[in-house]
Amino acid sequence: MTIQVVASQPYQDQKPGTSGLRKRVPAFQQVHYLQNFVQSIFDTIQAAPGATLVLGGDGRYYNRQAIQIILKMAAANGFGRVLVGQGGILSTPAASCVIRKYKTFGGIILSASHNPGGPDGDFGIKYNMENGGPATETVTEAIYARSKVINEYRIVDAADVALDVIGESQLGNMVVQVIDAVADYAELMESLFDFPAIRSLLASGFRLKFDAMHAVTGPYAREILVKRLGASEDSVMNAVPLEDFGQGHPDPNLTYAHELVEIMYGDNAPEFGAASDGDGDRNMILGDHFFVTPSDSLALMAANARLIPAYAAGIAGVARSMPTSAAVDRVAEELGIPCYETPTGWKFFGNLMDAGKVTLCGEESFGTGSDHVREKDGLWAVLFWLNILAIKRQPVATLVKRHWRQFGRNVYSRHDYENLQTEAAQGVMTLLRDSFASLPGKSFGRYTIASCDDFSYTDPIDGSLSTKQGVRILFEDGSRIVFRLSGTGTEGATLRIYLEAYEPDSTKHDLDAQDALADMIKIALSISELVTRTGRDTPTVIT
């Protein structure tokens, strides 16, 4: 084996965002760009000689080429074995599962999650640690610091490795083990949920439709929903992973999963609908003519966790990202368990789960998970819902509305303004921060602002501090507006506005969220001067 030491020049833009480094494909195809970042990872984590690494991605364009580069670099950097998903494909939650099951040093996941793919689309790379979760901010900052000064990388001179057949091959002194990308994950799901009860539900005539959006979860859904649980073949749609996701946008929301939405809001709709995203870590839940917000989904799952075999003894606690609604807080209070409010990013939940503080956690951005892995998990959430439905035997809408009657409804919506000019978006945030002293006490109709802040978080486990995590406008009645710049985009800036109002009156629970929040939407646009500063008068996506 010949190890080449290749001279390179550092790039200054390799700062990881909320979940890894994401750029357009042409950026990663620049000379030495991917190699520099991978070497920066290896230099930072300093794995012991002979360590085992997990490697896979969501199958998007450039996935296979990047895997060949990373395998050759892993061999040159002293790894003893790499477990790689068959065909180079491995969903993000499945990668976490494999890291944890086989106790590897960590893993590299290639994905830009819910972002579009293709030659001109997005690509991403992130390092997950030994616990299966995303690298902490301390580690990602160290990787970024290394990337700014790196001047060489190591790679072996060897032929590409066959990725499509399960088995082992040799790459220099390193073993490349191509694994079944589905088997370990499916086995874990069967250990958590009551598969016989779900099979009985599906055998009763209950119909479901799962949209894999031509992304990574297609093979997982076919194996679990169709083969193991007996759902009909046509229950899974868009199940073949494609490099460009069928020219779609693999984000499971009401805008981009429109094909599924049309089915669930059409004539003779199935009883249950669900979708997942590019790398399989997000989920959208639908009933017959009914959309379940991610915030309500997390709350309802927490309230019904004891129905699930894996959580029958109860849950230790729950956690949610700050922009996620307080619906789960009310459940936690009723259950007498702690509820943690964290910044956006699954790495913050990992510390809490490792410490045994929480069992379930979720983000309003269609991410839900538990301590079975250290990532959000789309198909796991779907199975959780199916298990509840198998026991309750009630329509999705009935379950949610009964939950609201017990706990009240946190009316909630998110407005995304995508691809804004970065300076304009940052100007909105600066204006809001500069208004912290003048806004409290101001009244807008029936709403009076109580306080404003820029959310910060001190991790209760490792003491790390995260600042500027989103501007919060808090009202006297408990309603709130949150403004946050997203860390998952690759072009321009995405400004997200989160709107929430608590409604205890069950006679008002059927109001459309946009109607119920109309006054708050006007307040948000007024105090942010968003239309004037950005030139945009409507959101790109409303959820």
Tell me which residues are annotated as active site: 113
Cβ atoms of 174 and 74 within 8 Å: the answer is: yes
Contacts of 407 (CB under 8 A, 6+ apart): 299, 303, 327, 330, 331, 334
Classify 148 as helix, strand or coil.
Answer: coil
Whether 524 contacts 503, CB under 8 Å: no
- What is the separation of C-alpha 394 from the centre of its chain, rounded to a whole number of angstroms? 28
| Residue in the structure block whose two tokens are 């700062």 | 15
* 361, two tokens: 């956690």
Structure tokens at 92: 């993000």
Asked if 382 and 282 count as a contact pair (C-beta separation under 8 A), the reply is: no
- Interatomic CA distance for residues 260 and 110, integer angstroms: 26
Residues belonging to the chain? 543
Give dist(CA 339, CA 330) in Å, integer. 9
Contact, 282 vs 112, CB < 8 A? no
Q: Helix, strand, or coil here: 451?
A: strand
Partners of 437 in beta bridges: none
Distance (Å, rounded) from C-alpha 281 to C-alpha 535? 33
* Pairwise CA distance, residues 157 & 146, whole Å: 24
Residues 326, 327, 328, 331: is their CA dihedral positive or negative?
A: positive
**Dihedrals φ, ψ of 475, to 5°?**
-100, 160
For residue 200, give the 3-state DSSP assignment.
Answer: helix
Exposed, middle or buried, 532 (CB in 10 Å: 0-12/13-18/19+)? Answer: exposed
CA nearest neighbour of 347 among 19, 9, 15: 19
**Torsion over CA of 204, 206, 211 and 212, rounded to 10 degrees?**
-20
At which residue do the structure tokens 């969501």 appear?
58
What gap in Å lies between CA 369 and CA 318, rounded to an integer? 10
